[in-house]
Structure 1
Amino acid sequence: MSSLDLQEQEQVEELKAWWKANGKWVVGALLVGSIGFAGTTYWRNHKASQAAEAAKLYAEVVKQVASNDAKRISDAADALVSRYGSSAYAPRAQLLAAQANLQARDAAHAKVELQWVIEHADETGLQDTARLKLASVLLDEKKYDEALKQLDAAHPDSFTGLYSDLRGDVLSAQGKIAEARVAYQQAYDKMDAKSGYRNLIQLKLDGLGNAK
Structure 2
Amino acid sequence: MANHLDLEEQEQLDELKAFWNRFGNLITWILIVVLAGFAGWNGYQYWQRSQAAQAAALYDEVDRASKAGDVAKVERAFSDMKDKYGRTTFAQQAGLLAAKTLFEKGNADAAKAALTWVADQSSDEGYQAVARLRLAGVLLEAKSYDEALKLLSGSFGKEFEPLVADRKGDVYALQDKKADAIAQYQIAYKGLDAQDDYQRIVEVKLNSLGVDPRPAAPVVTVASPVTVEVKK
Deviations 1:122-163 (Å, cap 9, x if unpaired)? 322221111111001111222212111221222233322221
More helix by share: 1
Q: Give the corresponding residue for 1:55.
A: 56
Q: 1:13 to 1:158 in 2, by over 3 A?
A: closer
Contact 1:160/1:190 (CA < 8 Å) preserved in 2? yes
**Aligned ranges for residues 109-124 of structure 1 at < 5 Å?**
109-124=110-125
The yes-or-no answer on 1:69 pairing with 2:70 is yes
Q: Give the corresponding residue for 1:189.
A: 190
Deviations 1:150-183 (Å, cap 9, x if unpaired)? 2122223332222111100111222222111100
The one-letter code sitting in structure 1 at the alignment partner of 2:148 is A
The one-letter code sitting in structure 1 at the alignment partner of 2:124 is E
Q: Within 1, Cα distance between the matches of 2:197 and 2:52? A: 38
Structure 1 position 94, deviation (Å): 0.6
- Tell me whether 196-205 or 97-106 shows the greater mean CA deviation: 196-205
Q: Give the corresponding residue for 1:144.
A: 145
Q: Within 1, Cα distance between the matches of 2:36 and 2:158? A: 46
Q: Within 1, Cα distance between the matches of 2:16 and 2:182? A: 87
Name the larger-Rg structure.
2
Contact 1:187/1:201 (CA < 8 Å) preserved in 2? yes
The yes-or-no answer on 1:100 pairing with 2:101 is yes
Q: Give the corresponding residue for 2:42.
A: 41
Structure 1 position 53, deviation (Å): 1.3
Structure 1 position 37, deviation (Å): 1.1
Q: Give the corresponding residue for 2:205.
A: 204
Q: Within 2, Cα distance between the matches of 1:102 and 1:119? A: 19
Q: Give the corresponding residue for 2:221.
A: none
Q: 1:34 to 1:200 in 2, by over 3 A?
A: closer
Q: Give the corresponding residue for 1:130.
A: 131
Q: Within 2, Cα distance between the matches of 1:58 and 1:19? A: 56
**Percentage of matched positions with identical amino acids:** 36
Q: 1:15 to 1:147 in 2, by over 3 A?
A: same
Q: Secondary structure at the match of 1:142?
A: coil
Q: Within 1, Cα distance between the matches of 2:56 and 2:177? A: 46
Q: Which runs of 5+ in 1 are unaligned?
A: none
Q: Compute the TM-score of the two structures, normalised by the length of structure 1.
A: 0.84
Q: Within 1, Cα distance between the matches of 2:90 and 2:98? A: 12
Q: 1:189 to 1:14 in 2, by over 3 A?
A: closer
